[in-house]
Amino acid sequence: MDEKTKTLIDKLEKEQNKLITAMVFISEVTNGLIIHLNGFENEDHARSFADRLMKNSGIDYKSIKELMDLPTIH
């Protein structure tokens, strides 16, 4: 992919991501952290965002869908 295409894709992703909101819950008892993200256009947008978020954080992860072929719960 050339640099011009990459720049255009990055710009489009930033526009999409402006619609995302987050609620963060911290448990003082368990030192746990729950982040609820909302506002994705579709499942692919959410998956792409999650992949980038986890990669940028340095956390190695596999989605539940990758680990088990479970149906989506609505």
pLDDT given at position 63: 77
pTM of the model: 0.65
20's tokens:
């995302």
CA distance 5 to 17: 18
> How many angstroms separate the Cα of 3 from the Cα of each of 8, 42, 46, 62?
9, 26, 24, 29
Residue with the bigger pLDDT between 46 and 14: it is: 46
Q: Residues 23-59: pLDDT tens digits?
A: 999 999 999 999 999 999 898 889 888 888 888 899 8
17's tokens:
């991501």
